[in-house]
Amino acid sequence: MKLSYLGHSCFQIHFGGKILLTDPFISGNGLLKDVNVDDIEADYILLSHAHQDHILDVERIAKRTGATIISCAEIAYHYSNLAYKSHPMNIGGKWKFDFGTVKMVNAVHSSSFPDGKYGGAVGGFVIWDEDYCFYFAGDTALTLDMQIIPMTCPELDFAILPIGDNFTMGVDDAVIASDFIHCDRIIGCHFDTFAYVEIDHAKAIMTFKNENKQLILLEPGKSLELELDEN
């Protein structure tokens, strides 16, 4: 499975024959060099919530690619009212798309558009097909609700968790989250983009290693070919 990190919480993931993009914040990310928003391909754009650092480039990418926006109802309807394709969901619901199944799961955070308009529920997504399953947590605190994921979804191959602290959980809480979701391969997000979320990389990786877990910290703009066992 090919996964590219476009910085902050933005990942481009080739899944089920389609290109999925999460929380595009690209043109505003000073850490991301040599990536042109107008070159990014997407069939689906998954939005965890409406904060600027998660939606900045949605319209620009969706307009050019015709990608379908998957998010909570309030965000999906906001974009469908602007004539973008969208699929509304809400917490606890799942839907079978042409690339696989998406379950929207709880996140503990807040959500409003940059102009203050209500952004609805904040979510994460568990995404699976016959072979693979992963969790994109979005912006969230550590929450006991994460324990529901292994009870209701296939076994996770990897999970993308925020680790930058201040606005979301930090590294120590992410280690506990990895226990809750029964997944020891974690890809970090929501770190280093702003001064509030700068982290010590070596320390973060060691914190996971000490619990026999793997924390992968990708450099913005870098791709990774994930070698995954088929379930």
- Distance in angstroms (rounded) separating the CA atoms of residues 175 and 92: 23
Closest distance between Ni ion and the C-beta of residue 109, in Å? 6
53 binds Mn ion (CB under 5 A): yes
Residue 13: what residue type?
I
Residues 102-131 that bind Mn ion (CB under 5 A): none
CA dihedral 87, 190, 4, 180 (to 10 degrees): -80
157 binds Mn ion (CB under 5 A): no
139 binds Ni ion (CB under 5 A): yes
Residues 36-95 that bind Ni ion (CB under 5 A): 51
Q: Which of 100, 5, 4 is nearest to 44 (CA)?
A: 100
Interface with Mn ion: number of residues (CB under 5 A): 3
139 binds Mn ion (CB under 5 A): yes
23 binds Mn ion (CB under 5 A): no
Tokens describing residue 212: 């026999």
What are all long-range contacts of 74-77, with beta carbons under 8 Å and residues at least 24 apart?
74/50, 74/118, 74/119, 74/120, 74/121, 75/47, 75/49, 75/50, 75/111, 75/119, 75/120
The residue among 57 and 139 lying less far from Ni ion, judged by its C-beta, is: 139
165 binds Ni ion (CB under 5 A): no
The residue among 61 and 133 lying less far from Mn ion, judged by its C-beta, is: 61
Site residues, Mn ion (CB under 5 A)? 51, 53, 139
Site residues, Ni ion (CB under 5 A)? 51, 139
